[in-house]
Amino acid sequence: MLLEVFLPLSLAFIMFSLGYGLTISDFTRVVKFPKAFAMGAVAQIVMLPLIAFTMLHIFSLPPELAVGVMILAFCPGGVTSNIFSKLADGAVALSVTMTAIMSLLAVVTVPLLVSFSNDYFLGVAAPEINVTTLGIQMFLLTAVPVGIGVALRAIAPRFADIAEPWTGRIAVALFALIVVGAIASNWSLFLDNLPTLGPILIILNAVLLVLGVILSRTGGLNMKESKTIAIETGVQNATLGIAIGSLIVGQTLSSLPAFALPSGVYGITMYFVMAPFIIWARSAAGSNVDQQPSAA
């Protein structure tokens, strides 16, 4: 019962912390710099799921785990991608803007895409997914907390400037607790599936980071923006993936379902990929001219 309450409340607070760090300008920035956002959105909504879908046919995972990987692929970056973007000396404002808008769009896109993946990989054995119900649950767990955070910051901006760093730290701690709790509660299951899930998750993470940089640079974005697009494409919200996978079958961390297991494993493996990427990214500063925002 405790975990049934802890998981959704933790996710809600993580999304609240995201909203609490946002202002209206973070949403309107898309109009000012549409090129970078458009390329990032295409990479997240189109390229990421297609690559994940293709890799699942190469690795041939069990159907339930395949659906779990697709659930993870549909999740936006979350607070973690903003932190990684800052550590990588990327365009943090672009990262925050993308995370905010893509998190809101996910309320509509994720339930539909999850339902498709569920039917495709499991066929007649697929559990029934009520797209409307899943969408409402996601709205309550993600969009509402983000909206509350934005509203509270607008009402008391000075207090938010002081409190927001602390809410961010708490959100990161909750993310770690959820992932560690999910793995610790299902340690044998984690060990049994790590040889199966580890390679595809690590390769998927690395491929998306590389393609994100290549796509952005080819499209004319500067290096800061390119690093951020790569991170927003290659880093998914593992907490949201665990929550969605658990919501579908009505299970929690005490009994992690196969749908949520890839997100739990990914919460650990992504650091093995992101550490070398951030080291490279910090050295790939580029020239001063290269750092000017791409307004076109």
Exposed/middle/buried for residue 47 (C-beta within 10 Å: 0-12, 13-18, 19+)? middle
Q: What pLDDT score was predicted for residue 102?
A: 87
Work out the angle between the directed axes of helices 223-234 and 92-122 (0-180°, nearest 10): 30
> What is the pLDDT at residue 3?
52
Question: For residue 290, what pLDDT is reported?
Answer: 42
Q: CA torsion, points 171, 269, 217, 35, in degrees to nearest 10?
A: -40
- Position 4 scores a pLDDT of 62
Q: What integer pLDDT is reported at residue 289 of this predicted model?
A: 36
**Confidence (pLDDT) at 254:** 54
pLDDT of 251 reads 54
pTM of the model: 0.84
- C-alpha 160/C-alpha 260 separation (Å) is 33
The predicted structure's pLDDT at residue 250: 65
Reading the chain (296 residues) residue by residue, the pLDDT tens digits are 445 667 778 878 888 888 888 777 777 777 777 888 889 889 998 999 999 999 999 988 999 999 999 999 998 877 788 888 888 888 888 888 888 888 888 888 888 899 899 999 988 888 888 888 888 888 888 888 888 988 898 888 888 888 888 888 888 788 777 777 777 777 777 788 888 899 999 999 999 999 999 999 999 999 989 999 999 999 998 888 888 888 887 655 556 788 888 988 898 899 899 999 999 998 876 433 344 455 54
